[in-house]
Amino acid sequence: MADKPKVAFYWCASCGGCEEAVVDLAEGILDVIAAVDIVFWPVALDFKVRDVKELPDESITVSFINGAVRLSEQEEMARLLRRKSKFVIAFGSCSHMGGVPGLANLWDRASIFAWYYHDAPSVAPGNVREPREHVRVPEGTLELPAFWDTVKTLDQVIDVDYYLPGCPPTPKLLADAVGVLLRGDLPPKGSVLAGTRALCHECPLNESKPEKLLLKDIRRVHLTKVDPEKCLLAQGLLCLGPVTRGGCEALCVKGNMPCTGCFGPTDEVRDQGAKGIAYVSSILDFDEEADIERALANVPDPVGTFYRYSLPRAYLMRTRKVMPHA
Amino acid sequence: MMQTEEFQPRIVAFVCNWCTYIAADAAGVARARYSPNVRLIRTMCSGRVDPQFVLGAFEKGADGVLLCGCHPRDCHYSVGNYKALRRYKLLKKMLSQMGFEDDRFRLEWISASEAEKFRKVVEDMTERVRRLGPFKPNGSSTPNGGK
Amino acid sequence: MPSQVVINPITRLEGHGKVTIFLDDKGEVSRAYLQIPELRGFENFLVGRQAEDAPQITSRICGVCPTAHHTAATKALDDLYKVDPPPTAKMIREMLYSVFMLEDHALHLFFLGGPDFVVGPTAPKAERNVVGVIQKAGIEIGKQVIAMRKDLRGILTELGGKVIHPVYGLPGGVAKPVTADMQVRFKEIAARGLKFASFCEKLFEDVVLGNPAYVKAIMSEGYTHRTYYMGLVDEKNRENFYDGQIRVVNPSGSEVARFPAQEYLDHIAEHSEPWTYVKFPFLKKVGWKGFVDGPDSGVYSVAPMARLNVCDDMATPQAAELYEKYFETLGGKPVHHTLANHWARVIEIVYAAERFNGLVSDARITDPDIRTIPTETPKEGVGVVEAPRGTLIHHYKSDDRGILTSANLIVATQHNSARIAMSVDKAARAVIHKGVVDDGILNQVEMAFRAYDPCHACATHSLPGRMPLLVTILGPDGTLLREIRRDG
Ligand code: SF4
Ligand code: SF4
Ligand code: SF4
Ligand code: FES
């Protein structure tokens, strides 16, 4: 027991889906439990921050941390686990690239509060109360953690060894990652533990994807009768398969819906949004300005389309000082 | 604003080797007075300018980015400039969503013989960006609003 | 100077929910506060997004009930585009929804709220978890639970693309049809689901209702609030998870409102407090009178107990029988005992299983006509479902291109937030006296809010899950007197 490698799971600002993905190992979880000693897993086991603090530095073999970072306390926990762990894995899109909640970086605290506590149509007329960090109530003082302006990726606050991409990562990739780490055949630091090639290579529709794709039309999925047998991109739907890292086995495409890029870009790309733009521009079969504009009218939300999961990781958007990434 | 007078914008210009670069050179050789604020980056074709270069330039401190290529139908690689145009349109749309002022990113077709046009474009852009002030990523220049 | 007890769920060390209890100088509770300290701003960043992306974006509010947000958003899009999905598309949506409810409620029974009851609220804490439940029920059962969950989630993956953050919802329909082959396989799972549901209900009855002490706890005043209730009902006022009108009953059980989701703003308003990030919805026509119950206070409740309180009947036979028994046993309608949520939840497990079985067995489910392409110009839409934790409302506005211009969400746990805050306060008053605070007592306080299966990921876009506690007892001068940990 004492000799088993120690593993920790932790979440920061997360939807809980990454934790569910761990539970979705189903009976596989028994294999994991047999092979390792889970020292820390708040959602399922006793919480032991103090016990973690008491562990010698680097005594946890690997910590899986999901969720983005928005509160100081999350940053502190990430730092603590960093110190105690040999390897830290950013688990899931939020931790890897900021995730969907990272789209909040288009706003800040003031604008979020303004809507939520004052302007939303259901807020009672005349409601003026906004949460504050220290509040006097008749019985004493209550404290709330501060709400920050910015959502950050895990590697913007601590050093990260590996990334497990996906929103959420698949149980299979998780099991593979645990295996790789326990066997000790370590990939180079900074590796993303999923496919190295674009998603199209593992997509069942890849054979129907033309060698040279040129689009006269971009179509929005809710206005399109989808042919489930034919490459979605070839049908004009903005499937991000060609610019997304493989590893999920094309889950969304198997659901007859285009890939939205939750696995992030492939190795050589740093900025997912910029890559998406380059790609779409290269397959649009128009040269005249008016035609281009007409076609692009069906890409009305480039940020939400190409940075759906990675705005905090973008070159821009309050991320001028990001740490280097894989 | 006081600052507007003193602020020297930094503009990165990606210029195509076959046209604008020559024009820029001519403008320089002729000692035409174009703004000292611009830094030229020569590329083999406007179609080679990846959107990541543009965003990267802003990230590294540019206050404006100028992208120049050959006129339509004149591209050395025949369609590079059309590709650049498509990218520009889409990128521009995205930058506006992120709160970028329109004048910070600009595309111009400038042939080898248009040294004067190059000078004018640079001067005009410098002036516009000067008016906008230094580029800050949307909303807040410090992470977490300084917290 | 009062002393202060802080129950800090340190699984949320970052502060995803904590209870602070102030004691007066006699050691009695003067007030207990439940604070939910997180917010994520989904309503803001939905603005500017393509409306058709909302079902996938909003599912990221919560990875435990993504299907609920996905479905509420999809229905809001139907309304936004004024498009009516083909009958089969609605059936597929409701079938997937039933599968999801069955699976989610069972998760609560075995992992979250159930252990308190099945193993016992004052059992050693090491046993008060899923392992304890399985030991009590038998290891074979444990395997069955895991297998059932896997099969149900397999259906959601196959039809929905992904089980966590599905992709099937589109305005006017669903993305993927049910094939004849799927129907055969799913029917087999549904048959097992029925047995599984009966087993869950039986387990609950045997262990909980068979034990007078538990029944007494359920009925005790410390866990009781006489509030209004809200939930979805069908045209015959039967409970429905997927569709219908929102019905509200008063603390005596009489209907005071019945309205389509589109009119929610006439009936619901939100109050906020400076000490928590969550908002407190209340009945607009009754008004916000503070954290009090009774007919004069606009505080209302949602979730399983509330749903049974607002409906007149259940639409499926076995659930209908259990419905009768429930009210008979608990002394008539409406039931105000917070802990009765657990029983109501197992009755809903049975309902979900029966519903799933009925829909998957219907010949029309394999009709390939699953989409109506929208043709209207989008403008405004509201969608509602019953999430496992209560009524869930998504409200969007868009421009002509279907780009969202505003979004407002009222989510399940949020409707319950005032009542949960009251429950915690009341339970604390009931169990803490003369400054005596021990582990079992704290669990009872915690049970008060676990009964709602509160999902703070939903309420504030924070986190779900079980919350072990850290209790810090501070002396009048703020010095630390004692610290108690109550682990999960
Ligand atoms: S990556 Fe996806 S599943 Fe994981 S916490 Fe973030 S939103 Fe949830
Ligand atoms: S573009 Fe999409 S649908 Fe086409 S092959 Fe690639 S992943 Fe599959
Ligand atoms: S298909 Fe794309 S969006 Fe869907 S799970 Fe795979 S990588 Fe993520
Ligand atoms: S060669 Fe000048 S733009 Fe292509």
* Position B145 in a domain: no
DSSP string over C218-232 = HH-GGGB---EEEEE
Tokens, residue A4: 């088993």
Please tell me what DSSP assigns to residue B101: -
Nearest CA in chain C to A70: C40
Note the Cα B118 to chain centre separation in Å: 11
Partners of A301 on chain B (C-beta within 8 Å) are: 97
Binding partners of B (≥3 Cβ pairs within 8 A): A
Given a cut of 60, whether residue C273 has pLDDT beyond it is yes
Mapped onto helix, strand or coil, the DSSP state of residue C397 is strand
Tens of pLDDT, residues A160-212? 999 999 999 999 999 888 888 888 888 999 999 998 999 999 999 999 998 88
DSSP string over B11-59 = EEEEEETTTHHHHHHHHHHTT----TTEEEEEES-GGG--HHHHHHHHH
Among all chains, which residue has been given the structure tokens 């939807």? A15
Share the mean pLDDT of chain C. 85
- pLDDT on residue C229: 97
Given a cut of 90, whether residue C441 has pLDDT beyond it is no
- pLDDT on residue A48: 60
* Position B53 in a domain: yes
* Position B30 in a domain: yes
Q: How far apart are CA C19 and CA B145, in angstroms?
A: 29
Tens of pLDDT, residues C24-56? 888 788 888 887 766 778 999 999 999 999 999
CB-nearest to C162 from A49, A73, A251 is A251
Partners of A126 on chain C (C-beta within 8 Å) are: none
**Do A149 and B139 lie within an 8 Å CB cutoff?**
yes
Q: Are B133 and B5 in contact (CB under 8 A)?
A: no
Q: Is B47 in the pocket of ligand 4 (CB under 6 A)?
A: yes
- pLDDT on residue C15: 36
- Give the pLDDT band (50/70/90) at residue C164: very high
**Do A129 and C44 lie within an 8 Å CB cutoff?**
no
Where in the sequence is the domain holding B45, given as residue range(s)? 11-132
Helix-helix angle B115-132:B20-29, to 10 degrees: 90
Q: How far apart are CA C44 and CA C252, in angstroms?
A: 39
- What atom of ligand 1 comes closest to residue A15's alpha carbon? 8
Spell out the domains of chain C, with CATH numbers in brackets.
86-223+337-372 (1.10.645.10)
Instruction: List Cα–Cα distances, C39 to A109, B111, C341, C459, in angstroms.
Output: 10, 53, 26, 8
* Position B119 in a domain: yes
| CB proximity A15 to C under 8 Å | yes
Chain A nearest CA to B4, separation (Å): 23
Helix-helix angle C180-204:C87-107, to 10 degrees: 40
* Position B20 in a domain: yes
Tens of pLDDT, residues C220-252? 887 889 999 999 999 999 999 999 999 999 999
Instruction: List Cα–Cα distances, C54 to A235, A253, A276, A316, C35, in angstroms.
Output: 22, 18, 20, 24, 29
- Give the pLDDT band (50/70/90) at residue C470: very low
User: What is the whole-number distance in angstroms between the Cα of residue A233 and the centre of ligand 3?
Assistant: 14
Given a cut of 90, whether residue C411 has pLDDT beyond it is no
Among A104-113, A152-161, A243-252, name the one with the lowest average pLDDT: A104-113
The string over C14-44, giving b where at least 16 C-beta atoms fall within 10 Å of a residue's C-beta and e elsewhere, is: bbbbbbbbbbeeeeebbbbbbbbbbbbbbbb
Note the Cα C110 to chain centre separation in Å: 15
CA angle A275, A278, A281 (to 5 degrees): 145
Tens of pLDDT, residues A262-271? 999 999 898 9
- pLDDT on residue C5: 61
- What residues in chain A have their Cβ under 8 A from chain B's Cβ atoms? 72, 106-109, 146, 148-150, 152, 156, 269-271, 273-275, 277-278, 280-282, 284, 286-287, 289, 292-293, 296, 299, 301-303, 306, 314-321
Given a cut of 60, whether residue A90 has pLDDT beyond it is yes
Given a cut of 90, whether residue C406 has pLDDT beyond it is yes
CB-nearest to A317 from B54, B98, B144 is B98
Given a cut of 70, whether residue B2 has pLDDT beyond it is no
Partners of C457 on chain A (C-beta within 8 Å) are: 15-16
Q: What is the ipTM of this complex?
A: 0.92
Length of chain B: 147
Share the mean pLDDT of chain A. 87
Binding partners of A (≥3 Cβ pairs within 8 A): B, C
- pLDDT on residue A141: 83
- pLDDT on residue C253: 96
Share the mean pLDDT of chain B. 85
Among all chains, which residue has been given the structure tokens 């639970």? C145
If one counts the domains in chain B, the total is 1
Chain C nearest CA to A261, separation (Å): 12
Tens of pLDDT, residues C58-98? 999 988 889 999 999 999 999 999 999 999 999 999 999 99
Q: How far apart are CA C132 and CA A214, in angstroms?
A: 60
- Give the pLDDT band (50/70/90) at residue A14: confident
Contacts with A70 (C-beta within 8 Å, 6 or more apart), sequence order: A12, A13, A101, A147, A148, A150, A151, A152, C40
The string over A114-147, giving b where at least 16 C-beta atoms fall within 10 Å of a residue's C-beta and e elsewhere, is: ebbbeebebbbeebeeebeeebeeebbebbbbbb
Mapped onto helix, strand or coil, the DSSP state of residue A260 is coil
Residues of chain B above pLDDT 90, percent:
66
Parallel/antiparallel/unpaired status of strands A162-164 and A85-91? parallel
Partners of A274 on chain B (C-beta within 8 Å) are: 50-52, 54-55, 91
Q: Are C43 and C61 in contact (CB under 8 A)?
A: no
Average pLDDT over residues C17-25: 76
Chain B nearest CA to A247, separation (Å): 24
Q: How far apart are CA B64 and CA C148, in angstroms?
A: 58
- pLDDT on residue B28: 78
Nearest CA in chain A to C125: A46
Among A100-109, A216-225, B74-83, C103-112, name the one with the lowest average pLDDT: C103-112
Given a cut of 50, whether residue C9 has pLDDT beyond it is no
Please tell me what DSSP assigns to residue A117: I
Among all chains, which residue has been given the structure tokens 């959420």? A168
Instruction: List Cα–Cα distances, C456 to A14, A16, B92, C412, C449, in angstroms.
Output: 11, 10, 38, 10, 11
- pLDDT on residue B99: 80
Indicate which CATH number applies to the domain containing B63: 3.40.50
Provide the H-helix boundaries in C108-211: 114-118, 130-137, 139-160, 180-204
Q: How far apart are CA C297 and CA C278, in angstroms?
A: 19
Spell out the domains of chain A, with CATH numbers in brackets.
6-100+149-183 (3.40.50.700), 106-148 (no CATH), 199-313 (no CATH)
Given a cut of 90, whether residue C209 has pLDDT beyond it is no
* Position B143 in a domain: no
DSSP string over A209-223 = S-SS--BS--B-GGG
Among A309-318, B105-114, C128-137, name the one with the lowest average pLDDT: C128-137
- Give the pLDDT band (50/70/90) at residue C389: confident
- pLDDT on residue C81: 98
| CB proximity A146 to C under 8 Å | no
**Do B145 and A302 lie within an 8 Å CB cutoff?**
no
* Position B147 in a domain: no
Q: Are A88 and A80 in contact (CB under 8 A)?
A: no
Instruction: List Cα–Cα distances, C313 to C38, C229, C235, C236, C341, in angstroms.
Output: 38, 15, 11, 8, 17
Average pLDDT over residues C280-286: 96
In the Cβ-directed half-sphere of C471, how many Cα atoms lie within 13 Å? 24
- pLDDT on residue A318: 52
- Give the pLDDT band (50/70/90) at residue A146: confident
Any bridge partners for residue C39, and if so which? none
Sequence letter at residue A15: C
